[in-house]
Amino acid sequence: MDAKHYYNPKGEEILDEKIFGGSPSGFVDFNRSRYKWDSNIYNLMNANTWFPSEVNTSTENKNFEQLSPNEQSIYKLTFAQLSFNDSAQEEYLSDFRRLTNNRLVKAVISLQIMQEVNHSKSYAVLLDACGNSEEVFNLYKHNSALNRKNQRIAEQFAQYIDGGSVDKMLLSAMASVNLEGIYFLLGFSYIYLLGDKVPGARDMIKFIARDELNTHLPLFANIFKTIQKENKIQTSTIDSVYTMISDAVDIELEYGHYLLDQFPIMGTTHEIMEQTVFNYANDRLTKIGLDPIFKQSDTTYLQKLVTKHLEMNEVKSNFFESNVSNYAKSSLDLDDF
């Protein structure tokens, strides 16, 4: 392993630091950024820091026990999969950060790593209050559909994370776009469907979803677009991007079909689920500057549920609860996703 140079007085100027490739000086300067989106996203992440202890889970056990057996299965399998997503993302981010050159972008990734760990903690807090933490976290050992989805997501993460080229860095960033923009969304909507039956789970997911969709997804969409803009990306690599998102759609729908077949979910049909995933995938392609390729439908009620709970400051609170209920409004402009 080559020696790490923490200080490089002959390194390139801060404003010349690209995301991939180069020789940084070793300084993080928030007053000078090659990009605008990195400091904007950092500020939004920082302003919206929250902690699981701020969400009321005191009645979660009683509420969970009042769910039907079908609803309890959806609850457990949803949280089993979501908890893997955040765990995998935290590990992946550490690797992606190591390969990144621009120090300010590395700083934003560092903050996202902290937030992913916070999400993992939130699942532990919620499931401990519910009384089924060990069971849920071990479901992958007993449920082949859950295990297969986790394995396929992990393989997509691992495929390109070696820093061998800008093309591999682009595809690696795409794996994160898929995670933040596709693999979470059906799970979020299923918990929202349970809604007032499990207010602790609903409120915890509100804040996780806002992190993922308001800052984490924009971060990697901008990383993707910046790598593509700064480098001569091969046409075959863009073809691989389309393959990756098609695979992501297949991964999400495979698990979604399993859940619907085994545990019908309150009015959700296979058609609505497919329309929802296709619409999300088209939106993610558009946001990274590529043409949509999936059949587009009118906004589904599952999408509307997620969007409704992304609305800022929707929960009224007193002064002492303001960290939880008053999630700061976004300051990102169109160039920032």
Give pLDDT, residue 30: 85
Taking each helix axis from N to C end, the angle separating 217-230 and 37-47, rounded to the nearest 10 degrees, works out to: 170
Q: Which residues lie below 8 Å from residue 174, measured CB to CB, with a gap of 6+?
A: 224, 241, 244, 245, 288
Beta-carbon count within 10 A of 133 CB: 17
pLDDT tens-digit profile, the chain (337 residues): 455 677 778 777 888 888 887 777 778 888 888 898 999 999 999 999 999 999 999 999 999 999 999 999 999 999 999 999 999 999 999 999 999 989 899 999 999 999 999 999 999 999 999 989 999 999 999 999 999 999 999 999 999 998 889 999 999 999 999 999 999 999 999 999 998 999 999 999 999 999 999 999 999 999 999 999 999 999 999 999 999 999 999 999 999 999 999 998 878 999 999 999 999 999 999 999 999 999 999 999 999 999 998 875 544 333 333 344 445 544 454 455 5
Catalytic residue among 123, 140, 190, 327: 123
Give pLDDT, residue 328: 54
Domains parsed from the chain with CATH numbers: 34-329 (1.10.620.20)
How does DSSP classify residue 291? -
Coil, strand or helix: which one is 24?
Answer: strand
Give pLDDT, residue 24: 77
* pTM recorded for the entire structure: 0.91
Give pLDDT, residue 11: 77
Task: Write the pLDDT tens digit of every residue in 215-251.
Answer: 999 999 999 999 999 999 999 999 999 999 999 999 9
Please confirm, yes or no, whether 123 is among the known catalytic residues: yes
The two structure tokens encoding residue 298: 């009118």
With vertex at residue 18, the alpha carbon angle to CA 17 and CA 24, rounded to the nearest 5 degrees, is 35
Q: CA 216 from chain center: how many Å?
A: 6
With CA atoms as reference, report the closest residue to 202 among 59, 20, 40, 37: 59
